[in-house]
A and B are shown apart, each in its own frame.
Chain A
């Protein structure tokens, strides 16, 4: 390391501005270190309890067939509950986990020790963000696995039960049974469901980034959480405001300006709400998913940049 340190020194430009250009690799290493520690921190804070609640919910939802629902309805209900819970839990977790990070570092003065090292503030923000996104990703994968396993098990059970029932009552030809099975399986486990899960994850990334931005301004976790929830809520109605701004040309000036401002400032979370469509069986093409991912990256980049601009001169 000393050789690396040594050949860095001379490159400090006299009077230059933030001369951290050299060693992007080193910077990635720092972000990785910060992300890893953040990941470990959230892991050891036992924030993963909500995964347990999720599993219980999904398992309970999977035993809902006391309702004499048809197999199809039963599987739909299971998907609704599981994906709904996944979406809600992931979003809430993203808000709360992100809100805990910077304010607690600030309060413990850990931030002072970190920034007293040669760590640019954007590295710090990006490291924290990557860490929390990593945690969210891991939880989404775990929930997806639980959900997939339960759905698959239920699907197999329902198919077996319905086929047995049909054979017993008689009058069904091979062909009819195949149709029955196919309809049932169309409600079961399939790849398109992964698009919904991916959308849930992308939405959480945006939530993390916007909450991170809030926490660079706020001084407490509680405040950050509250503002995070407000943004979460308004973000779901944002498209209404955008519609109003773009189409309600006859409305009053102030109303239009206000809705325009809301549409400009708040993220649009509706774009990520594709669970309903996917459960109803609509297939999301790859192109649409790519656009969604592109939008997410843009959101995360812009919000991180704004977070840095706000955080750059913050007094610690």
Chain B
């Protein structure tokens, strides 16, 4: 059992063609896509709407069949039911049984995974705490907000302690605070050594959590690599100082010019609108 070496996700030459019924044209949703995700790694699949992210994930989870190529989870082909033992999935805009309460929902999915009664109870308490839904556990999902649904969905994905979670647009349509919570959760999973594959159409949303990203466009991979490598401007360096006097800044500028480096820009860094929002609303919600 050399599972340490086995990739959490392997996708090999995946092509998916949706054959149009009757007069409709066929759609090539994914074209010759290959990628690997190591155990414990956080991988981001970035691309505009309709580029084939959800389709790739569905093939990976055995929900649809590939037209060509293969996918596997921890070395088990996705078309086999047991490939789903080690994976949790949160679909795009998930809906669960609205008549069930948060706790019942987790119970339901836990039992589907064959988690025993006692272990399940402890696991559910732990998960509810993790996703901060303990207060809503006894309410039916009917009354949950979008962010709460995403979080119960995340808990659901984690219920059998999988070694991989697949999250399709986990932050789409969620307000910044909710989005922040979800990203914190992803970082938490990373801490625990759980591999994560997530998709997003917004690069900024994933850049702080992903170890590696793949940029997918029209069903094909256009760029893949470590996040820093992809977005750093290689011949530039950023220096951020606190409480620097005007005099010091002047000396740095002179130093730079004296050493044949081009001085590009100096000024006060801007906070992002998002962090401003978060700072201002911190502690005010709920």
> CB–CB under 8 A between A and B in the complex?
yes
A residues contacting B by CB (< 8 A) are 1-2, 4-5, 8-10, 12, 18-20, 23, 26, 29-30, 33-34, 37, 40-41, 44-45, 108-110, 112-120, 313, 315-316
Q: Are B112 and A117 in contact, with the CB atoms below 8 A? A: yes
Which residues of A have CB within 8 Å of B96?
Answer: 108, 110, 113
Most buried by B among A5, A18, A34, A112: A112
Stretch of B34-42, B59-67, B128-136, B195-203 on the interface side: B59-67
Given A12-B76, A315-B65, decide whether A117 and B109 contact each other with a Cβ distance below 8 A: yes
Most buried by A among B81, B96, B119, B120: B81
Stretch of B84-92, B186-194, B275-283 on the interface side: B84-92
List B residues 81-104 near A (Cβ within 8 Å): 81-82, 84-85, 87-97, 99-100
Does B111 reach chain A (CB closer than 8 Å)?
yes
Q: Are B82 and A40 in contact, with the CB atoms below 8 A? A: no
Which residues of A have CB within 8 Å of B112?
Answer: 30, 33-34, 114, 117-119
Q: Besides the contacts A110-B96, A114-B112, A315-B63, what 4 more A-B pairs have beta carbons closer than 8 Å?
A: A2-B119, A20-B82, A112-B89, A116-B88
Q: Are A29 and B65 in contact, with the CB atoms below 8 A? A: no
Q: Are B99 and A30 in contact, with the CB atoms below 8 A? A: no
Q: Are A1 and B82 in contact, with the CB atoms below 8 A? A: no
Please, which residue of chain A has its CB at the minimum distance from the CB of B77? A15
CB distance from B1 to the nearest CB of A (A): 8
Please, which residue of chain B has its CB at the minimum distance from the CB of A108? B95
Please, which residue of chain B has its CB at the minimum distance from the CB of A15? B77
Q: Are B62 and A112 in contact, with the CB atoms below 8 A? A: no
Q: Are B61 and A116 in contact, with the CB atoms below 8 A? A: yes
Which residues of B have CB within 8 Å of A45?
Answer: 99
CB distance from B57 to the nearest CB of A (A): 9
Q: Are A37 and B108 in contact, with the CB atoms below 8 A? A: yes
Given A19-B82, A109-B95, A112-B89, decide whether A117 and B113 contact each other with a Cβ distance below 8 A: yes
CB-defined A-B contacts under 8 Å, sample of 13? A29-B114, A30-B114, A33-B108, A33-B112, A108-B95, A108-B96, A112-B63, A112-B94, A116-B61, A116-B166, A118-B84, A315-B18, A315-B63
Q: Are A113 and B116 in contact, with the CB atoms below 8 A? A: no
Please, which residue of chain A has its CB at the minimum distance from the CB of B61? A116
